[in-house]
Structure 1
Amino acid sequence: MATMSAPMTSTATNPTSAQLRITCHSPQYWRVTINNPPLNVMGPEMVKEFQKVINALEADEQVRVVVFESAVEDYFLNHSDFTAKLEDLTSLPPGPTGLPLWPDFLVRLTRLPVCSIALIRGRATGNGSEITLACDMSFASREKTIISQWEVGVGMVAGGGPMARLPELIGRNRALEVLLSSEDLRADQAESYGYINRSIPDSELDAYVDGLATRIAKFDKWAIGQTKRLVNAKLPPDVEIGAGWDACIASLGRPAAQNGIKELMERGFHKPGDAENRLAYYLGVIPH
Structure 2
Amino acid sequence: MKARPREAGSTLASASKFLSAIAMLMIPALALSGPAKPAGTPSEQLTKSASKNVARPQVHVEKRTSRYWRVTFDNPPFNIFGPDTIPQLEDVVAQIETDPNLRVVVFDSAVPGYFLTHYDFDPPLSASTDLPSGSTGLHPLPDMLVRISRAPVVSIALIRGRATGVGSELALASDMRFASKEKAILSQWEVGASLVPGGGPMARLPRLIGRGRALEVLLGSDDINGDLAAQYGYVNRAFPDTQLDGFVDGLALRISGFDRQAIADTKRLVDFASLPSDPEIGAGWDAFITSVQRPVAQKNITRLMEMGLQKNPDVEARLGHYTEALGER
User: Does the pair score TM above 0.5?
Assistant: yes
**Matched position secondary structure for 2:64:** strand
Post-superposition offset of 1:287? 5.2
Deviation digits for residues 80-135 of structure 1 (CA, Å, limit 9, x no counterpart): 00112344223211111111101110101001111100000000000010011000
- Using the TM superposition, name which of 183-192 and 247-256 deviates more: 247-256
Gaps of at least 5 residues in structure 1 are: 1-13
Amino acid at match of 1:142: K
Aligned to 1:64: 103
Post-superposition offset of 1:249? 2.2
Residue 286 in structure 1 maps to residue 302 in structure 2: no
Aligned to 1:32: 71
**Matched position secondary structure for 1:44:** coil
More helix by share: 2
Aligned residues: 275
**Matched position secondary structure for 1:26:** coil
Q: TM-score w.r.t. structure 1 length?
A: 0.93
Distance 1:270 1:102 in 2: 20
Aligned to 2:311: 271
Distance 1:122 1:287 in 2: 26
Amino acid at match of 1:241: I
Distance 1:16 1:62 in 2: 30
Asked whether the 8 Å contact 2:84–2:127 carries over to 1, the reply is no
Match of 1:128 among 167, 185, 189: 167
Gaps of at least 5 residues in structure 2 are: 1-52
Post-superposition offset of 1:156? 0.4
Residue 204 in structure 1 maps to residue 243 in structure 2: yes
- Name the larger-Rg structure: 2
Asked whether the 8 Å contact 2:68–2:104 carries over to 1, the reply is yes
Aligned to 1:144: 183
Residue 239 in structure 1 maps to residue 279 in structure 2: yes
Distance 1:276 1:178 in 2: 18
Q: TM-score w.r.t. structure 2 length?
A: 0.81
Please tell me the root mean square deviation across aligned C-alpha atoms, in Å.
Answer: 1.3
Post-superposition offset of 1:285? 1.1
Percent sequence identity is 56
Match of 1:260 among 297, 300, 325: 300
Residue 78 in structure 1 maps to residue 117 in structure 2: yes
Kindly indicate whether structure 1 or structure 2 has the higher relative contact order, using CA contacts under 8 Å at least 6 residues apart. Answer: 2
- Using the TM superposition, name which of 213-222 and 230-239 deviates more: 230-239
Asked whether the 8 Å contact 1:260–1:287 carries over to 2, the reply is no
Distance 1:143 1:216 in 2: 27
Asked whether the 8 Å contact 1:38–1:272 carries over to 2, the reply is no
**Matched position secondary structure for 1:207:** helix
